[in-house]
Structure 1
Amino acid sequence: MTTLETTRSGPEPDPKDAVEAATVVTAEAEPVTPLHRNRDFVLLWSGSAVSLIGSTASTIAYPLLVLALTGSAFSAGLAGSVALLPGLLLQLPAGALVDRWDRRRLMIWCDALRCLGVGSIALAAALGGLGLAQILAVSFAEGALTVFYGLAAHAAVPNVVPKSQVSLALSRNEARGRAAVMLGTPLGGLLFGLGRAIPFLTDALSYLASMAGLLLIRKEFQADPAAARAGRLTDQVREGLRWLWHRPFLRTTTLLVAGSNLMFRALFLVAIVLAGEVGASSTGIGVMVGVAGGGGVLGSLAAPWFRNRFPLATLVIAANWAWAVLMAVIALVHDPYSLAAAYAAMWFVGPVWNVALGSYQLSITPDELRGRVLAAMSTLSSGALPLGSLAGGVLLSTAGPRPAATALAVWMVLLAGAATLAPSVRGTTAAPADG
């Protein structure tokens, strides 16, 4: 399918990146077969898909359960915050440990422990002995284990598929995640209506399915786990940060991701309020979000096509300008259909950006550093999410939905301008992938 490589289509490439790209260990020596016939990738992809649907269902069920038990919106919000906390606190050390430990074995343990955790929620709910403390403890533990699992799974991709299929594999993973949100969100509400314990029992079973798939996989998820075990953990965390900082293109694009994440998190709330203002019913708002999710799935499937035909710099700059223009459309339209179409188009662009950037990053990062570099990028880019939620609330309460959307459009124009003018973006040597 696609081959990720750096060519001399611009300024001379960084020798460090050329050496690192050459050291990436992949299955390239093996005959290239379609992804759907790659047994190990299918097992990894399908197991993760099942567990993602289950965990999405339980994520919706957690606040419903806390509200049913306590009647407190504050407690429900607290449970949600506790589940997200590991994503901010644990990314950097988790990245180092993902490089030090056997990734496949680590993922198996994560599935087993997550199964036990949510299984304890289901059992306690069925027996009538569930309390808030148990919910908070399990949600934090599940969030922490999910951080480890996610980093290990992403870092493992180039060891499970040939280098020429990394972009395609990442696009399939993007589609899987977005489809899981579309399916798991209504499923969680439906299952909770059947019984408080059922969403969590379903989630526990989904982790068992994922674990079974991992146990059947034959390939190793890293070239040499022992290569990253020497040295102190703090030194290894710093090594990942230092490696990222000395790659100007990755450093700049990570900061651009942080800026767009802030906008998207604020936009979610702004778009819901704005949809109500232009006449959408509550059902219509739900349909709008569902259509947007569909746009994300389509973007995931189309991402390899874009990566195969356009230089990486073009995709980065074009994605930011597309978001800027679509954000301006959202600020200006006065009917729910145009709003839904623009919002879905924004979701379409996201996976194209994610796959192009992710496949390039994996192609130049040495295997023994992948967990740490992924964690460093995720920490920087995800740190803007809480600020985005806060910004959306402040803008809506002080200015109203349309001025808030206009402010987000201006923010996106500034980011697009920064991407266009950044020498590290315009000077990147990453060419289109070869089919």
Structure 2
Amino acid sequence: MTDIAPVREEVPEEVPPLLRNRDFLLLWQGAAVSGLGSNASSVAYPLLVLALTGSAADAGLTGFVALLPQLLFQLPAGVLVDRWDRRRTMVWCDVLRGLALGSVAATLLLHRLVLPYILVVGFVEGTLTVVFRIAASSAVPNVVHPSQLAAALSRNEARTRGAQMLGRPLGGLLFGIGNAVPFVFDTASYLWSLVTLLLIRSEFQAERRPRGVPLRREVTEGMGWLWRRPFLRTTTFLIAGSNLLFQALFLTVIVMARGHDGSSAAIGVMFGVAAVGGVLGSLVAPAAERRLSMRTVVIGANWAWALLVPVLLTVHDPYLIGGVYALMCFVGPVWNVVISAYQLAVTPDAIQGRVLGAVGLISFGAIPLGSLIGGQLLSGLGAVSTVWVLTAWMLLLAVTASLSPSVRSAPALTGATATAAEPEPAPAPTA
């Protein structure tokens, strides 16, 4: 089965611009502040574990456990997001994530924090984040007009990259003030997100009718829908491969910066510099979505990453490392907006959560493996050899993208939005 090519849909005059869409702005603002806190704690976690144990392997294990829910719970989370009220689900995720991060800050202040507790909290928060992310992504097409979907995704990308640009330096700075401070800040960010969600009036899903389908069948529906679309299937596996690389690379550049006498604050600034590239990429993404074919985006992105990874070995200053990393981050938003807009547009709302769960299982499921593999490679081979291993892996992905028939024959995006001509209905239940 081939993918359905999107067509351009003009914005009607009566549709207000995104900047006057109250509910979209509330959703955007809440996620922006929450993302700022999450990025601050994402830098603080490995720094905290390295301070407690001095082991890169332990830091890698912490990242693996925190991200393991990305592998375990994508499909069931997608089913629940399609069954439950999406906004209410997001509210409870924020409440519980805030409590989890607050407990880390409390145990740190009481000098009771140990590695096993960090692992437990990381796993719980990671599980809730999987559910929240799928619900939030599924909600976007219901909060904005279809003709504004690509623009909304571009602004979400800018939000994500901006949170990285500011949050990671802030995490290093706050950690330098006190080990518990980044986690206190992240707890407050979840509370802010909770307030914005409670103020939103729009429904986050279309009207649902009971289908009488067993839960086990619902779990597999999203994967089946994705598997029957060669282009989306191939790009999902390519995303998985690059996600594995970037998660391993995240820990690698921290170790490299430490080896060049980089302070906690300098490491935070390094990731902030890298995030600038992501912000700029998100600003370019709408124009790329209008002008570039999906084939060009997929093949070009993979080759850009493959050529940039070994450049890390030529620089020895944390800020220059951040500059190289920024070039890699520039490419990511273009990929995300182009491919995500297409996928959201051709997916029926009734199975949106399950399809996102299937995509997340494959693409995000590789992230915990990247953290674990990165830690083991760094412990066994050192930073330089690890970079060469990751370079070889990225070259393999670039070659695969270039030779893939489904990528080479990918449909072209012809407009500023990715609106499906006639989306295929959800699979009917069978006996």
For the aligned pair, the TM-score class normalised by the smaller chain equals 0.7 to 0.9
Q: Residue 152 in 1 paired to residue 132 in 2?
A: no
For 1:224 and 1:298, how far apart are their aligned partners in 2? 37
Mean Cα displacement is larger for which, 360-369 or 268-277? 268-277
Q: Is the 1:102–1:225 contact (alpha carbons within 8 Å) kept by the matching residues of 2? A: no
Query: Deviation at 1:223?
Result: 0.7
Q: Is the 1:155–1:371 contact (alpha carbons within 8 Å) kept by the matching residues of 2? A: yes
Tell me which amino acid in the other structure corresponds to 1:374: L
Name the counterpart of 2:411.
429
For 2:53 and 2:334, how far apart are their aligned partners in 1? 42
Cα pair distance change 1:362/1:65, threshold 3 Å: same
For 2:262 and 2:178, how far apart are their aligned partners in 1? 25
Query: Deviation at 1:32?
Result: 2.7
Q: Residue 319 in 1 paired to residue 301 in 2?
A: yes
Mean Cα displacement is larger for which, 399-408 or 369-378? 399-408
Name the counterpart of 1:10.
none
Query: Deviation at 1:247?
Result: 0.5
Tell me which amino acid in the other structure corresponds to 2:95: A
Cα pair distance change 1:429/1:371, threshold 3 Å: same
Cα pair distance change 1:98/1:129, threshold 3 Å: same
Of residues 139, 144, 163, the one that matches 1:161 is 144
Cα pair distance change 1:235/1:431, threshold 3 Å: same
Q: Is the 1:66–1:75 contact (alpha carbons within 8 Å) kept by the matching residues of 2? A: yes
For 1:397 and 1:142, how far apart are their aligned partners in 2? 27
Query: Deviation at 1:422?
Result: 1.4
Name the counterpart of 1:44.
27
Cα pair distance change 1:356/1:202, threshold 3 Å: same
What is the TM-score normalised by the length of structure 1?
Answer: 0.81
Percent identity over paired residues: 57
Deviation by residue 1:376-431 (Cα, 9 ceiling, x = unmatched): 11111123334434554565566665555444334333322221221111222232
Name the counterpart of 1:93.
76
Q: Residue 384 in 1 paired to residue 366 in 2?
A: yes
Query: Deviation at 1:98?
Result: 0.6
- The aligned runs of 1:274-313 (5 Å cut-off) are 281-282=261-262, 287-313=269-295
Cα pair distance change 1:273/1:184, threshold 3 Å: closer
Name the counterpart of 1:3.
none
Q: Is the 1:27–1:161 contact (alpha carbons within 8 Å) kept by the matching residues of 2? A: no
Q: Is the 2:108–2:179 contact (alpha carbons within 8 Å) kept by the matching residues of 1? A: yes
Mean Cα displacement is larger for which, 103-112 or 248-257? 103-112
Q: Is the 1:303–1:356 contact (alpha carbons within 8 Å) kept by the matching residues of 2? A: yes
Of residues 195, 210, 215, the one that matches 1:233 is 215
Per the alignment, in what secondary structure is the counterpart of residue 308 of structure 1?
Answer: helix
For 1:219 and 1:377, how far apart are their aligned partners in 2? 26
Cα pair distance change 1:122/1:247, threshold 3 Å: same
- The aligned runs of 1:33-112 (5 Å cut-off) are 33-62=16-45, 79-112=62-95
Of residues 224, 229, 238, the one that matches 1:242 is 224
Query: Deviation at 1:76?
Result: 6.6
Tell me which amino acid in the other structure corresponds to 1:344: A
Query: Deviation at 1:259?
Result: 1.8
Query: Deviation at 1:211?
Result: 1.4
Query: Deviation at 1:161?
Result: 1.1
Q: Is the 1:87–1:144 contact (alpha carbons within 8 Å) kept by the matching residues of 2? A: yes
Query: Deviation at 1:319?
Result: 1.3
Query: Deviation at 1:121?
Result: 4.4
Of residues 211, 225, 231, the one that matches 2:194 is 211
For 2:137 and 2:176, how far apart are their aligned partners in 1? 34
Mean Cα displacement is larger for which, 171-180 or 281-290? 281-290
Name the counterpart of 1:418.
400
Gaps of 5+ in 2: 418-431
Q: Residue 172 in 1 paired to residue 152 in 2?
A: no
Q: Is the 1:27–1:163 contact (alpha carbons within 8 Å) kept by the matching residues of 2? A: no
Q: Is the 1:312–1:432 contact (alpha carbons within 8 Å) kept by the matching residues of 2? A: no
Query: Deviation at 1:152?
Result: 0.4
Q: Is the 2:35–2:160 contact (alpha carbons within 8 Å) kept by the matching residues of 1? A: yes
Name the counterpart of 2:342.
360
For 1:67 and 1:407, how far apart are their aligned partners in 2? 23
Tell me which amino acid in the other structure corresponds to 2:157: E
Mean Cα displacement is larger for which, 159-168 or 365-374? 159-168
Q: Is the 2:61–2:371 contact (alpha carbons within 8 Å) kept by the matching residues of 1? A: no
- The aligned runs of 1:323-362 (5 Å cut-off) are 323-327=305-309, 329-330=311-312, 333=314, 340-362=322-344
For 1:145 and 1:285, how far apart are their aligned partners in 2? 28
Cα pair distance change 1:130/1:271, threshold 3 Å: closer
Query: Deviation at 1:265?
Result: 2.9
Name the counterpart of 2:164.
181
Per the alignment, in what secondary structure is the counterpart of residue 318 of structure 1?
Answer: helix
Q: Is the 2:60–2:374 contact (alpha carbons within 8 Å) kept by the matching residues of 1? A: no
What is the TM-score normalised by the length of structure 2?
Answer: 0.82
Tell me which amino acid in the other structure corresponds to 1:33: P
Cα pair distance change 1:65/1:433, threshold 3 Å: same
Gaps of 5+ in 1: 1-12
Query: Deviation at 1:369?
Result: 1.1
Query: Deviation at 1:191?
Result: 3.9
Cα pair distance change 1:220/1:28, threshold 3 Å: farther
For 1:328 and 1:143, how far apart are their aligned partners in 2? 31
Aligned length: 412
Query: Deviation at 1:240?
Result: 0.7
Tell me which amino acid in the other structure corresponds to 2:364: S
Per the alignment, in what secondary structure is the counterpart of residue 219 of structure 1?
Answer: coil
For 2:373 and 2:53, how far apart are their aligned partners in 1? 27
For 1:424 and 1:156, how far apart are their aligned partners in 2? 29
Tell me which amino acid in the other structure corresponds to 1:156: A
Q: Is the 1:101–1:225 contact (alpha carbons within 8 Å) kept by the matching residues of 2? A: no
Backbone CA RMSD of aligned residues: 3.5
For 2:223 and 2:342, how far apart are their aligned partners in 1? 17
Query: Deviation at 1:36?
Result: 1.7
